[in-house]
Amino acid sequence: MIGFLIKSSLCLAILLGVYILFLEKEKMNVFNRVYLLASLAVSFAIPFIQFEPIHEELQQNLIPYAVQTIKAQAISIEQQSDYSVWILWILYGTITSLFIFRFIKNLLSITKKIQSNPKKKFEISTLVLVKEKIVPHTFLNYIFINKEDYENRNVEEELYTHELTHVRQKHTIDVLVIEILKTLFWFNPILIFYKKAIQLNHEFLADAKVVKSYNNVPFYQNLLLEKASWNSNSYLASNLNFLVTKKRLIMMTKTTSKSRALLTKLSVLPILAGLISFSCFETDNQKEVTEVVAKKQIIKAEEPTMGEQETQKVYEASPGKSDDGLSVPKFPGGLQAFSKYVKKEYKIPSGFKGKGNLIASFIVETDGSLSDIKIVKDLGKGTAEEFLRLLKTSPKWQPGTLNGKAVRVKYNVPIHLNEV
């Protein structure tokens, strides 16, 4: 979950930064609307997408040895209840429930307002005539407007055109989507800026339609400034006076050439490609590759001496026994000490539910270090990666010996996981 939140938040921040720096000031409002909505979709989808890099596997030129599983008793690890996690989930659920309640309450409030006031059909919309002195605003195909102004014909045609644009282009859907995301991810402040950017883009689109239809920019700008102080308290609606700022007034007179628009759009593609590659491709370090891939030696070497052969050879181990003078490697303090070490250091992944045995194999080198660490039996859900981490950070072992001389020994060790 933490990884998902980090990745999605990083993507949201980068894509919003690209929008603010390169796209928001350009008059290509339809593309910008698609970009903002796509940014939300991509940011929440990327953490679930993983591509594995292609590796060329080369043959290993290793001295063969027999693999023998040791007969040691599996070390049992039980995951204790982590009450802090439960507390966090309860806190999240409580706060989320409050935001859901507010969201539903506002929907019901709008529904009640629609049902309790007279309505008039107007082109593809329905006018809801209210007594309050409000600025015209839109929710789905409903346009809320002051009843007295409507009856006295005090509503300018430009305002109707503005609100009808919200209806035709279904801007309410965008607002509902971002509000649902804000409800579920209330702790992510980036979504607040996305909502502002989306709503401002809606106003750019509606303003552009009015300017194109009436071709009287000064009159329309003065009209917006006149209505800017009017009240509209519906946070789910598209409001005429939303952010009547310098940005909207400038955008009405701004022009962007086709070549500049195309160049700007194309410049975004490398950024998106890089972001997706960075987020979706797992590196070898992320996957903790367990097998060492070595190039096959083709240079003919001199015959090793007997001492070198003994040093290179890997012996198989049977714990607690000595065969033909071979003694098995030991963890400092013995298997009981290793059991305590594993129980203390191994962290059962939160996604693992159930129980079973994990088995790892490795070579105890003559200096007591561990090499060629591999997972023989995996239970999934990150359990193998955690076992690998534990073995890689393990203290040096007491090496196995043959006739009193330290030798390399192959060793298999199981641990038992039991999630409770």
Residues 348-361 pLDDT 10s: 887 777 778 888 88
User: How many other C-beta atoms are found inside a 10 Å radius of the C-beta of residue 410?
Assistant: 20
Identify the CA nearest to 136 among candidates 116, 111, 166: 166
Provide the 3-class DSSP secondary structure of residue 301: coil
Q: What is the mean pLDDT of residues 296-301?
A: 37
Distances (CA, A) of 123 to 112, 117, 159: 23, 19, 14
Residue 2: what pLDDT?
Answer: 75
DSSP string, 118-151: -EEEETTEEEEEESS-B--EEETTEEEEEHHHHH
Determine the Cα–Cα distance for residues 220 and 42; give it in Å rounded to an integer. 37
> Could you give the CA distance from residue 369 to residue 408 in angstroms, rounded to a whole number?
10
pLDDT tens, residue by residue, 220-238: 988 888 877 665 555 566 6
Mean pLDDT of the 94-110 span: 95
Q: How far is CA 364 from CA 140, 149, 242, 408, in A?
A: 69, 88, 69, 6
The pLDDT mean for the chain works out to: 79
Residues 255/157, Cβ–Cβ less than 8 Å: no
pLDDT of residue 85: 80
326 found inside a domain: yes
pLDDT for residue 52: 53
- Identify the residue with better confidence: 327 or 121: 121
Q: In one letter, which amino acid is 70?
A: I
- Structure confidence at residue 202 as a pLDDT band (50, 70, 90): very high
CATH of the domain at 369: 3.30.1150
pTM of the model: 0.62
pLDDT band at 99 (very low <50, low <70, confident <90, very high): very high
The C-alpha atoms of residue 44 and residue 34 are separated, in whole angstroms, by 16
Q: For residue 114, what are the CA distances in angstroms to 107, 122, 123, 163, 189?
A: 11, 15, 17, 16, 32
Q: How many domains does the chain have?
A: 1
Residue 205 resides in a domain: no
What's the rounded Cα separation, in Å, for the pair 3 and 280? 12
Q: Which domain covers residue 319, as residue numbers?
A: 75-79+300-419
178 pLDDT band (50/70/90 cuts)? very high
Is pLDDT of 8 > 50? yes
**Confidence grade of residue 312 (pLDDT, cut at 50, 70, 90):** low
Residue 179 lies in a domain: no
What is d(CA 96, CA 93) in angstroms, rounded to the nearest whole number? Answer: 5
pLDDT beyond 60 at 369:
yes
Residue 396: inside a domain, yes or no?
yes
The predicted pLDDT at position 240 comes to 55
Average pLDDT, integer, range 329-343: 85
pLDDT tens digits along 124-172: 999 999 998 888 899 999 999 999 999 998 889 999 999 999 999 999 9
pLDDT digits over 38-66, tens only?
Answer: 999 988 887 676 655 544 433 333 333 33
Closest CA to 289 of 211, 353, 373: 373
For residue 302, the model assigns a pLDDT of 43
Backbone dihedral angles phi then psi of residue 211, each to the nearest 5 degrees = -60, -40
Is residue 356 in a domain? Answer: yes
pLDDT-derived band of residue 71, with 50, 70 and 90 as boundaries?
very low
pLDDT tens, 241-253? 555 677 888 888 8
Domain-embedded: residue 407: yes
Q: Are strands 125-130 and 142-146 parallel, antiparallel or unpaired?
A: parallel
What are the DSSP calls for 181-208, one per residue? HHHHTTT-THHHHHHHHHHHHHHHHHHH
Whether the predicted pLDDT of 72 surpasses 50: no
Residue 98 lies in a domain: no
Residue 414, classed as helix, strand or coil, is strand
Residue 404, in any domain of the structure: yes
What one-letter code names the amino acid at 151? E
Angle at 266 between CA 263 and CA 267, to 5 degrees: 85
Using DSSP bridges, classify how beta strands 326-327 and 314-316 pair: parallel, antiparallel or unpaired.
Answer: unpaired
pLDDT of the residue at 299: 35
CA distance 245 to 226: 13
Write down the pLDDT at residue 281.
56
| Lowest-confidence pick of 205-209, 279-283, 402-406 | 279-283
The residue with greater pLDDT, 195 or 231, is 195
CA atoms within 13 A on the CB side of 305: 2
- Band the pLDDT of 405: cuts 50, 70, 90: confident
pLDDT of residue 420: 38
